[in-house]
A and B are shown apart, each in its own frame.
Chain A
Amino acid sequence: MTDQKNFAVFEADIQKAQARQRVVRIAVQVFLYLFLIIMALIVIFPFYFMLISSVKDLAEYRLPVQTLWPNKIILHNYIEAFHTANLGTLFSNTLYVGIVSTILSLIITVITAFVFARLEFKGKNAMFAALLATMMIPGELFTITNYQTISNFLGLRTLGRELGSKDLIALGDWKNTFTVLIVPFLVSVFYIYLLRQNFLQIPNELYLAAKVDGTSDIKYLWKVMIPLALPTLISITILKMMGAWNSYMWPRLVANDEAHRLITNGLRTAFTSVEGDVNIPVQMAAVAIVSAPLFLVFVFLRKYIMKGVSRSGIKG
């Protein structure tokens, strides 16, 4: 170990090494940017294609070699798309379901997370473990039974039939209602878990101090915990709204009528039952309209979405 390395570094060598190093560094940076920009272009291309196609007229869209910039910009496609797919109703339905389910879901999530984070009672840990265990089961497994459940909620419909009560029948028959789009998904174990972890980071002393001062649980929750957990709550809100926007299979199964159809399902339906050639520019315009709100939300609340998503791993 005592023999030291002999450094025979000459001036010329150093300069050469230096120059090489600089070249390598620049080359690497150029390569990095080039690669990233190409990938970014690939990633963004479908959006670009959607936008340019949505303002082309059918004849231009059908040119043998498609134009990368429309020769003539036609905004009429958007109007047509709006009417063809009945987007107005779809929007308001989706918004309604999104808002109501988000508010209710937030209330339940906050209260449940609070209980698991702050209160002590027998069976708490077992209960929480049971809750977490349900996260492992894929949602597709629930669909089969839930489909039956909502057709005859708690047997109310059968009961109503026997008692001759229309109100009970209506209460038991959730098909083609907004309820069926909202209630089954109100409890999200993952959000409860997320929020509970957040609540746990708030020092317990604050809670004890509040207790000493005679603050009620609810008031403490409202005045202390919710403000401190606000970023998580915002993330949950956005993800839940995105969920309403993107949900497809369940709404298609249980609320596929005009009055309750949600946007994704509506879009798919509108552009598969059309007769004759599919008018792709109009279809692209519809897709653009449907995509726009999510993009706007993303632009303004990017931070919360990315934070929420990186922790959840669930789409919607």
Chain B
Amino acid sequence: MKRKIISLLLAITLLALPLLTATSCDLLGGGKNNGDGELKEGQVKVVFYHTMGEALRTVLDKYIVEFNKLYPDIIIEHKQVGGYDDVREQIKTEITVGDQPNLAYCYPDHVAAYNIAYAVKPLDELISSTKVITRADGTTETLGLTQAQIDDFIDAFYAEGAVYGDGKMYTLPMSKSTEVLYYNKTFFDANGLVPPTTWDEMEVLCEKLLELDPDCIPFGYDSEGNFFITMCEQLGTPYTSATGDLFLFDNAENRAFVEKFRSWYEKGYFETGELSGVSYTSGLFTKAPAEEGNCYMCIGSSGGANHQKPKNDDGTYKFEVGITSIPQVDPSNPKVISQGPSLCIFDKADPAEVEATWLFAKFLTTNVDFQAEFSMTSGYMPVLESVKDHPVYAAELEAANGKEGLTLLTAKVALEQANAYYTSPAFNGSSTARDQVGLLMQQALPLTAEKDGDVAAKIKALFEDAIYKCKYDAGLQ
């Protein structure tokens, strides 16, 4: 009998081993942040996934305290889930098991992916809601957005919430970045150069820079995908249809600009992120002019300003950085990409949960103080026009310089071009299109007649291939 009991115990232990390790590992490995304590009666918990680093989390925590002064029963539990792709993958898996968060950082194509499972809550009803909520401090607010609030959003950023082809609004802009042109101000000033406003000027400038310094690469462009899409926007040529049922980017105009930039590339005018082998060209830009293969200009995300600082090990600067808008085809109708995270709200069975999430999302996106402080910390643009009038923010912007103040300087430049922002349509497969045009650029730019023969034919084939793959992924092929 005793033996039997012992054997049984043994079996149970063995069976439980995996589960035991599951928990013990978590204890040892730090585990997951599951919040503390159970919810009290009447409390609602909002889980928020983002990519904020430590500095931004501090800002967020500060404003959660503010928010909780108004809504003490909404418990905010937030978590950094790696980078944007990690957030997307994490949420995609969680949707399949029904355990997605309430609120998350998102890009338009993420939302399109989540919506395969109809997981994202359309916001139209909430926005237009006139329900009045009483806050803990006794004041009231309407659940929806007031017209003033809507108007305060920078138009292009707000419009991004409805790029899904079905007319519905799915996201609120959180913090935005764009592409700007960083240039070596010290060098430009010394040689009497001015940063280009058009691509034609850029071409001339490149020639000049190569004359001045034959060992340089005049400019770097971080993202091949952005390059292509932005050129489509600037030229006004088709890219994709709004709903993703048509991939339109294979056309003569687009092939022509790819061919043009290919010839630039062949002449050594520029380098791109992936082609340089390390995803970003900021490494080339921050080299001192004496170093081989340095760039004098760099078109990169305004959110990445920190990486554009040409700092020496001892903290001094190799040169001063200047920032301006990216070159345009037509300066009178400028187009610059709008990037950076928005917020999307996941649909839940309990309307109270959705409502609480909305309140928090609304708080983050419409609170001028938060937007200002968040922008100052991250270098991302605030999404509200009125932040420009925020006294501290305005003062900081004013004082921004091309060295330590680079992040703010980018925000300043980015805000000045508010009328130029565009967002490309998002649908299930829009990220494929983006990847494909990026890959297309990556393959087309290094072509040379000498090595590859008929370059035009090669480019045509690359376009055709990219279209094929987009269609294939969308199930159209």
Contact = CB atoms under 8 A, between A and B. Distances in A.
Q: Do any CB atoms of chain A lie under 8 A from CB atoms of chain B in the complex?
A: yes
Interface of A: 93, 96, 100, 104, 107-108, 111, 147-148, 151-153, 157-158, 161, 166, 169-179, 182-183, 186, 216, 256-257, 259-260, 272-278
Interface stretch (B19-27, B121-129, B370-378): B19-27
B82 A183 contact: no
B465 to A, nearest CB: 25
A153 B26 CA distance: 15
B25 A178 contact: yes
B307 interface: yes
Contact of A151 (B26, B28, B35, B97): B97
A275 B282 contact: yes
Given A104-B21, A272-B279, 16 more contacts: A93-B29, A108-B14, A152-B97, A157-B97, A169-B99, A170-B23, A173-B32, A175-B93, A176-B32, A177-B22, A178-B25, A182-B21, A182-B25, A257-B86, A272-B278, A277-B278
A181 to B, nearest CB: 9
- Greatest chain A CB density within 10 A among B18, B82, B90, B280 is at B18
B283 interface: yes
B22 A174 contact: yes
Interface of B: 3, 14, 17-19, 21-23, 25-26, 28-32, 34-35, 82, 86, 90, 93-94, 96-99, 277-280, 282-284, 286-287, 307
A29 B250 CA distance: 66
A179 B22 contact: yes
Contact of B34 (A93, A100, A166): A166
30 contacts: A96-B28, A96-B29, A100-B21, A100-B25, A104-B17, A151-B97, A152-B99, A157-B97, A158-B97, A161-B97, A166-B34, A169-B34, A170-B34, A171-B23, A177-B29, A178-B26, A178-B29, A179-B18, A179-B22, A179-B26, A182-B21, A186-B18, A260-B29, A272-B278, A273-B279, A275-B279, A276-B280, A276-B283, A277-B283, A278-B278
Contacts of A93: 29
- Greatest chain A CB density within 10 A among B97, B277, B278 is at B97
A256 B89 CA distance: 11
Given A158-B97, A175-B93, A275 B25 contact: no
Contact of A170 (B26, B279, B280): B26
Contacts of A108: 14
B32 A170 contact: yes
A284 B86 CA distance: 28
A183 B22 contact: yes
The 8 closest A-B pairs by CB, nearest first: A276-B283, A178-B25, A152-B97, A179-B22, A151-B93, A183-B18, A275-B283, A275-B280
A160 to B, nearest CB: 8
Given A161-B99, A169-B99, A259 B30 contact: yes
A177 B32 contact: yes
B82 A257 contact: yes
A260 B30 CA distance: 9
Nearest to A257: B82
Contacts of A111: 14
A161 B98 CA distance: 8
Contacts of A172: 97
Contacts of A183: 18, 21-22
Given A171-B23, A175-B90, A151 B96 contact: yes
- Greatest chain B CB density within 10 A among A107, A153, A275, A276 is at A275
